[in-house]
Amino acid sequence: MGFENVFVEIAAMLAVVTVIGSIGLMLRQPLIVSFIAAGIILGPSVLGLVAATEPIELLAQMGIALLLFVVGLKLDLHIIRTMGTVALATGLGQVLFTSIFGFLIALALGMSPVGALYVGVALTFSSTIIIVKLLSDKRELDSLYGRIAVGFLIVQDIAVVVAMMTMSALSGASDEATLGWVAIELAARLIAAAALMFVMMRYVLPTLVETMARSQELLLIFAIAWGVGLAALGEWAGFSKEAGAFLAGFSLASTRYREAINARLTG
Amino acid sequence: MGFENVFVEIAAMLAVVTVIGSIGLMLRQPLIVSFIAAGIILGPSVLGLVAATEPIELLAQMGIALLLFVVGLKLDLHIIRTMGTVALATGLGQVLFTSIFGFLIALALGMSPVGALYVGVALTFSSTIIIVKLLSDKRELDSLYGRIAVGFLIVQDIAVVVAMMTMSALSGASDEATLGWVAIELAARLIAAAALMFVMMRYVLPTLVETMARSQELLLIFAIAWGVGLAALGEWAGFSKEAGAFLAGFSLASTRYREAINARLTG
């Protein structure tokens, strides 16, 4: 069945989410479980109520970008200095461990080497969004294990993106010269992104934020524009939306309006 | 020109809004002027950048519904008792005065009676959204004149909707029996809406809100669902989205979670 227009559809969806959410609350489930259940029930596999996929897709992407933006906003240089090594070691360690053993198990099950490589890498994925949302709901993002988990997840995301980019290039052309080019291109992108962020954080952002902050509302719109914009840029540059939004938040974490932006975005 | 996808389009729009907003701030203009200017520049009359009209339309409608919802949330029975008569008198007085004199002037300019009636009623419109947004930006919604203005505008909105419904029925069929039916139907709708709100506020909402309030996040989603849902219902029943959302806010104004909802929605 369809609805008169998107507005009515969204209203009906929100009503269903509220009902399922309160049932979940009575059963002592975290809200995110109810939200996923509501998504399954409303989606094409059960009721098929959702016809306006484009606006909902947009809202979902903006929500994810803003969540990662807020996570980035909470990281300051002090945390990176203390957590950076731990996050790098655990994140890369888990990716290497899981993908190598996944690769070997898939090989042992009789898969082709390239297929086994894909399965191995696929096994290393964790859902950053689900974990970050759960930690944020329990107000445990600032705890020691919360910080380690988020750092770990971000490192993992970046590693998986790099692995995916390498693999898709590998399956396309297999001679060694191409592989070299892929590595150079990847390194160039990472360096370009880092250089851009450095220039922004050092010279552009402080004055920009100072101008915006004369109006609290404009500051909020600027923050959303910055988060969504860097997410779009991140995807365009071959990283992920999530990594871009995270970087956008991180770049504002050292300004003195961090708390003001954070309070308005998380409510 | 078009964009890769809606996400990039929204990101670009937000960036333009931020730039124009900060220029406006330097020229000491209120933000809403910059926002309208940004809309004109991005819209089809200048740059024509906006291709994804459906998601943007949806966001705009939800924004308007939530703004009116918040205004309703701020009204409690005490304010209505003190402001009700003033709002009714000024609102209806202005509508009657402007439409009668507009009608006479239009007649004197040589228009047909029905045409002159339309012009007269059209002259009485004020933009509720613009005024409410300006008052809210200046934190003057709670001042005496702010309250009178909002009451006035709501009365005016309802009066104009009633006038429009009567006029469209009048231009369709002109015998007196039909006019009587239109009046009865209109009265029935108003009474049905009032009865529904009374039952809701007296028996259903208090328990419902109490259940939702166990989780702050669910309470917020419930509030949005309630505001957007009543807006959709209001439009379906022949009133406006704005009136429905306003009523939704008003119906929650007497619960003890008013402040919690308000703080999370206005940031």
The tens digit of pLDDT for each residue in B181-190 reads: 777 777 787 7
Q: Note the pLDDT of residue A124.
A: 79
Question: Among all residues of chain A, which has the CA nearest to that of B137?
Answer: A217
Mean pLDDT for B260-265 is 81
State whether residue A220 sits within 8 Å of chain B by CB: yes
The pLDDT tens digits for A41-56 are 888 878 777 776 778 8
B25 to A211: CB separation less than 8 angstroms, yes or no: yes
**Residue A261 clears pLDDT 80, i.e. is over it:** yes
Collect all residues of chain B within an 8 Å Cβ-Cβ radius of residue A265. Answer: 267
Contact B75, B248 (CB under 8 A): no
State whether residue B51 sits within 8 Å of chain A by CB: no
Mean pLDDT for B41-61 is 80
Sign, CA torsion B226/A140/A59/B39: positive
Look at B161 and B29; give whichever has higher pLDDT.
B29
State whether residue A231 sits within 8 Å of chain B by CB: yes
State whether residue B169 sits within 8 Å of chain A by CB: no
DSSP string, B53-118: HHHHHHHHHHHHHHHHHHHHHH--HHHHHHHHHHHHHHHHHHHHHHHHHHHHHHHHTT--HHHHHH
Q: Note the pLDDT of residue B131.
A: 81
Mean pLDDT for B156-163 is 72
Q: Note the pLDDT of residue A236.
A: 80
State whether residue B52 sits within 8 Å of chain A by CB: yes
CA nearest neighbour of A226 among A175, A266, A265: A265
Look at B179 and A34; give whichever has higher pLDDT.
A34
State whether residue A7 sits within 8 Å of chain B by CB: yes
Distance between A220 CA and the closest CA of chain B, angstroms: 10
Tokens representing B182 are: 């239109």
Q: Note the pLDDT of residue A67.
A: 82
Q: Note the pLDDT of residue B1.
A: 37
Q: Taking CB atoms and an 8 Å cut-off, how many pairs form between chains A and B?
A: 126
| Confidence label for B138 from pLDDT (cuts 50, 70 and 90) | confident
The pLDDT tens digits for A153-204 are 877 777 776 776 666 666 555 556 666 777 777 778 778 888 888 888 888 8
DSSP string, chain B: ---SSHHHHHHHHHHHHHHHHHHHHHTT--HHHHHHHHHHHHSTTTT-----HHHHHHHHHHHHHHHHHHHHHH--HHHHHHHHHHHHHHHHHHHHHHHHHHHHHHHHTT--HHHHHHHHHHHH---HHHHHHHHHHTT-TTSHHHHHHHHHHHHHHHHHHHHHHHHHHHHH--SHHHHHHHHHHHHHHHHHHHHHHHHIIIIIHHHHHHHHTTSHHHHHHHHHHHHHHHHHHHHHTTS-HHHHHHHHHHHHTTSTTHHHHHHHHH-
Q: Note the pLDDT of residue A253.
A: 83
Facing residue for A54 by CB, picked from B31, B54, B231? B54
**Residue B3 clears pLDDT 60, i.e. is over it:** no
Q: Which of A212, A218, A224, A264 to mutate to test the interface with B (most CBs of B within 10 A)?
A: A218
The pLDDT tens digits for B208-259 are 888 888 888 888 889 999 999 998 888 887 777 877 888 888 888 878 888 8
Mean pLDDT for B157-170 is 68
Contact A76, A253 (CB under 8 A): yes
* Amino acid in position A261: I
Question: Among all residues of chain A, which has the CA nearest to that of B226?
Answer: A15
**Residue A258 clears pLDDT 70, i.e. is over it:** yes
- CA pair distance A240, A56, nearest whole angstrom: 19
- Secondary element (H or E) of residue A236: helix A216-236
**Residue A9 clears pLDDT 80, i.e. is over it:** yes
Collect all residues of chain B within an 8 Å Cβ-Cβ radius of residue A7. Answer: 58, 61-62, 228, 231-232, 241
Mean pLDDT, chain A, integer: 80
What kind of architecture, by CATH, is found in domain A68-266?
Answer: Up-down Bundle (1.20)
The pLDDT tens digits for A215-234 are 888 888 899 999 999 988 88
* Exposure string over A137-163, b if 16+ CB within 10 A, otherwise e: eeeebeeeebbebbbbbbbbbbbbbbb
State whether residue B22 sits within 8 Å of chain A by CB: yes
Distance between B56 CA and the closest CA of chain A, angstroms: 8
Helix, strand, coil abundance in chain A, percent, nearest 5 = 80, 0, 20
A residues 66-105 near B, CB within 8 Å? none
Query: CA triplet B19, B20, B25: central angle to 5 degrees?
Result: 100
* Amino acid in position B200: M
* Percentage of the residues of chain A whose pLDDT score is greater than 90: 4
State whether residue B23 sits within 8 Å of chain A by CB: no
The pLDDT tens digits for B72-122 are 887 766 666 777 788 888 888 888 888 899 899 998 988 888 888 888 888
Distance between B263 CA and the closest CA of chain A, angstroms: 7
Q: Note the pLDDT of residue A60.
A: 85
Mean pLDDT, chain B, integer: 80
* Percentage of the residues of chain B whose pLDDT score is greater than 70: 89
Query: CA triplet A36, A39, A42: central angle to 5 degrees?
Result: 150
**Residue B2 clears pLDDT 50, i.e. is over it:** no
Q: Note the pLDDT of residue A2.
A: 45
Contact B103, B81 (CB under 8 A): no
B7 to A58: CB separation less than 8 angstroms, yes or no: yes
The pLDDT tens digits for A85-115 are 888 888 888 888 888 998 999 989 888 888 8
**Residue A122 clears pLDDT 70, i.e. is over it:** yes
- Residue-range domain boundaries for chain A: 6-51, 68-266
**Residue B176 clears pLDDT 80, i.e. is over it:** no
Q: Note the pLDDT of residue A225.
A: 92
Q: Note the pLDDT of residue A20.
A: 92
